[in-house]
């Protein structure tokens, strides 16, 4: 049945991830099994394109790859051997080891397809190159959807989300494909968008950042400066656990996503959902602040048309670190982030009360005001300055929500 096929597919994907130099013939055999990679909804042969990509990388990508595959085939199929080493006796000198060997691909190899670089496809022409890339991405997504539904791979959720997020950087011709859009939406919901799914929130974000850092190939972080070491703002506590280069890599990645969203991504629901993801309370304040500032002209596009009340509420709750800090010991929000939310409400005329970002900003500002009522007068003074210049309607919403929070906690 379908469960059995998914189990076999999961085993094959896991097996490929464990292969090393010398196992090329085994990998070639696995990718040669058409039925193994065929999923129920694959009517356009996208998984065949996907398999062909890996078969080509193993055999015809270079002369060295072909020689290595032939040597591996002799090792496993009892051919005439010149050597028992796992590597072939190459006829030419290698420029770099990465070009000579395709294996190992690592345990996240299937997810890595989604974070690969797509070129113009000079060998086929740009149109055909995009068409092939679309088919390969669709093939990878269809396999991942099937695996996540029935037999999830043992890969961290944050790692999966990072690679899935990279699809938003692909050319628009790929993002607008209906099949890819459907797979992306389904896979994102499987990983993150289900209110009933239990997630260790801080671990998800931490794994996301670490995978982003590893993928960026940045150097090791420098030591933190004295100014950073002496910063006692509790809202920055989570950031102190991150390396400087990790935050820098994440900032670069998010910057690319913002540019893509501004250029064309804003019209696609999946891109809006991913940009919302960076408003999670576990992300460094610098990142959340950067997203809000860069998307300032089109913050209204973070709203999703016909979104259900439960889905919107779930998305908003994921961004809040808790209720009132005095009641549940949750961390308070940084003044820098509160300033960004207040400034956005003053500058963006397109926002209305039904928009995601409007409700998010009101939630943060109301939480801070209610907390200040309980704790210190200085917080109220800061809040008064922060809200100076907002419309009477916005001020009314902040005060009313703050009052509701205080009544609920009393």
pLDDT, tens digit, 9 for 90 and up, residues 328-353: 778 888 999 999 999 999 998 889 99
Q: What span, in angstroms and rounded, lies between the C-alpha atoms of 325 and 332?
A: 6
Token match 């280069």: residue?
245
333 or 241, which is more confident: 333
Q: Kindly state the average pLDDT of the residues 252-271.
A: 97
pLDDT value for 61:
82
| Tens digit of each residue's pLDDT (9 = 90 or more) over 13-31 | 999 999 999 999 999 999 9
pLDDT value for 355:
96
Q: What span, in angstroms and rounded, lies between the C-alpha atoms of 353 and 193?
A: 23
pLDDT value for 165:
97
227 or 98, which is more confident: 98
Q: What span, in angstroms and rounded, lies between the C-alpha atoms of 343 and 361?
A: 10
Q: Kindly report whether the peptide bond that precedes residue 89 is cis, defined as omega within 30 degrees of 0.
A: no
pLDDT value for 21:
94
Lowest-confidence region among 91-95, 96-100, 319-323, 355-359: 96-100
Contact criterion met (CB below 8 Å) for 201 and 280: yes
pLDDT value for 232:
40
Q: Other C-beta atoms within 10 Å of 98: how many? A: 8
320 or 233, which is more confident: 320
Residues 6+ apart with CB under 8 A from 41: 142
Q: What span, in angstroms and rounded, lies between the C-alpha atoms of 138 and 159?
A: 19
pTM score, whole prediction: 0.87
42 or 103, which is more confident: 103
Q: Average pLDDT over the chain, rounded to whole?
A: 86
pLDDT value for 23:
95
């Amino acid at each position: 049945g379908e469960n059995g096929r998914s189990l076999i597919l999961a085993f094959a994907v896991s097996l490929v991830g464990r292969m090393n130099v010398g196992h090329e013939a085994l990998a070639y055999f696995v990718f040669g099994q058409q039925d193994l990679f065929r999923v129920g909804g694959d009517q356009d042969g996208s998984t065949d394109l996907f398999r062909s990509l890996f078969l080509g990388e193993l055999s015809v990508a270079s002369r060295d790859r072909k020689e290595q595959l032939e040597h591996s085939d002799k090792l496993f199929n009892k051919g005439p051997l010149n050597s028992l080493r796992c590597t072939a006796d190459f006829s030419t000198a290698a420029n770099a080891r990465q070009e000579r060997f395709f294996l190992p691909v690592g345990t996240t190899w299937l997810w890595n397809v989604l974070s690969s670089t797509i070129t113009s496809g000079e060998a086929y022409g740009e149109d055909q190159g995009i068409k092939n890339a679309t088919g390969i991405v669709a093939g990878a997504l269809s396999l991942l959807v099937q695996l996540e539904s029935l037999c999830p791979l043992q890969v961290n959720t944050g790692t999966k989300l990072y690679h899935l997020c990279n699809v938003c950087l692909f050319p628009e011709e790929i993002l607008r494909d209906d099949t890819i859009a459907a797979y992306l939406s389904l896979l994102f919901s499987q990983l993150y968008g289900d209110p009933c799914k239990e997630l260790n929130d801080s671990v998800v974000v931490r794994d996301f950042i670490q995978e982003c850092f590893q993928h960026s190939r940045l150097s090791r972080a420098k030591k933190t400066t004295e100014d950073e070491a002496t910063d006692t703002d509790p809202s920055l506590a989570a950031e102190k656990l991150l390396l400087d280069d990790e935050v820098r890599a994440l900032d670069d990645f998010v910057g690319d996503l913002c540019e893509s969203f501004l250029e064309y991504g804003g019209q696609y629901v999946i891109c809006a959902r991913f940009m919302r993801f960076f408003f999670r309370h576990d992300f460094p304040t610098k990142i959340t602040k950067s997203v809000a500032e860069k998307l300032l002209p089109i913050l209204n596009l973070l709203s999703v048309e016909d979104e259900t009340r439960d889905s919107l509420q779930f998305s908003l709750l994921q961004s809040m670190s808790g209720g009132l800090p005095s009641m549940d010991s949750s961390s308070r929000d940084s003044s820098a982030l509160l300033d960004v939310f207040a400034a956005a409400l003053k500058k963006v005329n397109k926002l209305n009360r039904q928009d995601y970002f409007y409700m998010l900003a009101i939630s943060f500002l109301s939480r801070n005001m209610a907390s200040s009522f309980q704790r210190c007068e200085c917080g109220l003074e800061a809040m008064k300055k922060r809200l100076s210049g907002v419309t009477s309607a916005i001020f009314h919403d902040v005060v009313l929500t703050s009052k509701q929070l205080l009544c609920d906690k009393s």
